[in-house]
Structure 1
């Protein structure tokens, strides 16, 4: 088992009221799975992703990565785990404005104290694979949104993570660029990468192999999909959530 969540609950205190965001979530994600988590705004999907990836901690419940409990790690240990084993793609890539695209991609690797020459070669290889090698020396203000998101994917993969987490990775992209980014995720999945994506876009979900639907802090559907995107879309459109 790559990733396992057991009875995950998350509460927030608002004045004298306890707001329960997650109400007891159980999830098992296997090595090499491509999973999307869907739900309307406020369903708890991003909170769940943050807990699975140790960016947040549950109020109750347990999270295991490769059979090791990770929900109560120290800040240093959770940072080390994320740096070594997890990659993150966000809706708006968090880049350093005064650095080049290449240097932004290199940041996680250099923080891990990798050899710069080897890291630069790895970054160059990723950029060539993703098709953005021509923007290596440009600043983030000089590239398109689609190119910036591709650079964000490169940065997420620079340390060869075991799991790629993505929170609304296509939310700020047009339909054509969204399709290109989804093709990249599909390519990395076919190469064996475990991928977990939060999305509200049914077209993104249809590109995965399994969709978890959330509503009001609960997991209400767990749908397995095939390889035909159109069949997947039809199957997902029939789901009530």
Structure 2
């Protein structure tokens, strides 16, 4: 996947400009930046949900100007249909893509099992914990077997313990079914744990300030959190990002 010279504005407000990066077919790229720098807007432009005002987005040989079949998104607040069961929520993307009934019946149980929800196919979202709901949202995105998986703060709405569990579940799932992934997060630790590269957005309008390669051994496990290199990389991202975040706390809007 390629992003070239991407820019977005809302009227007189320029959100970001000159965004350039690639994502490999089996690579996780994490994006961090101060609140309000346009991380979610960038992700929605890449998904084709929002129009961009400059530049180009390419997934393979297809230019993104609207939502396309090769890209799927996992949202922060689960994005499930409350009146649909786990099975029907996971099947939704396949139905929208026009998948035949036999394919849906084969794939849905496979991806429900992949995310650890086997046995809960008939459960409704209100019956499940936040972690279970996010697993369901992840299964729905994965079931369409996207070339690019976009994740917008996917674990922000769950408690700290569940968040850690889901982080390592995502690592396990990616190891089983690797795909290109763009992961937006406010958590520096999460970005370093999950990403192969971390892109730091800074400025007003924001742009890519630095891209940091995360050269940690794979697979990532809880032992990774105690690795000396993990601490070094976390501090590097922290120092790059937080200097701007502190300054932004004391800027008056004009």
Q: Paired residue for 2:195?
A: 208
Deviation at 1:131, TM superposition (A): 1.2
d(CA) in 2 for partners of 1:174 and 1:226? 28
The two structures have a TM-score, normalised by structure 1, of 0.88
**Of residues 185, 196, 204 in structure 1, which corresponds to 2:182?**
196
Deviation at 1:119, TM superposition (A): 1.0
> Does structure 2 conserve the Cα–Cα contact (< 8 Å) formed by 1:44 and 1:215?
no
d(CA) in 2 for partners of 1:233 and 1:115? 48
| Pair 1:53-2:47 in alignment | yes
Q: What is the alpha-carbon root mean square deviation over aligned residues?
A: 1.6
Deviation at 1:234, TM superposition (A): 3.0
Task: Identify the range of structure 1 (168-177 vs 231-240) with the bigger mean alpha-carbon deviation.
Answer: 231-240
Deviation at 1:51, TM superposition (A): 1.5
Task: Identify the range of structure 1 (219-228 vs 115-124) with the bigger mean alpha-carbon deviation.
Answer: 115-124
d(CA) in 2 for partners of 1:118 and 1:62? 33
Task: Identify the range of structure 1 (119-128 vs 31-40) with the bigger mean alpha-carbon deviation.
Answer: 119-128
Deviation at 1:219, TM superposition (A): 0.7
Q: Paired residue for 1:8?
A: 6
| Pair 1:237-2:223 in alignment | no
> Does structure 2 conserve the Cα–Cα contact (< 8 Å) formed by 1:100 and 1:140?
yes
Q: Paired residue for 1:221?
A: 210
Q: How does 1:63-212 map to 2 (within 5 A)?
A: 63-70=57-64, 73=65, 78-79=66-67, 81=68, 84-190=69-175, 191-206=177-192, 207-212=194-199
Which is richer in strand? 1
Deviation at 1:211, TM superposition (A): 0.4
The two structures have a TM-score, normalised by structure 2, of 0.84
1:133-178 CA-to-partner distances (Å, cap 9, x unmatched) read 1221111110000000000000011111111100000101122211
d(CA) in 2 for partners of 1:116 and 1:182? 32
Deviation at 1:233, TM superposition (A): 4.1
d(CA) in 1 for partners of 2:169 and 2:181? 12
* 1:28–1:139 distance in 2 versus 1, CA, 3 Å: same
User: Structure 1 regions of 5+ residues with no counterpart?
Assistant: none
**Runs of 4+ displaced beyond 4 Å:** none
User: Structure 2 regions of 5+ residues with no counterpart?
Assistant: 218-223, 242-254
Counterpart of 1:135 in 2: which secondary structure?
coil
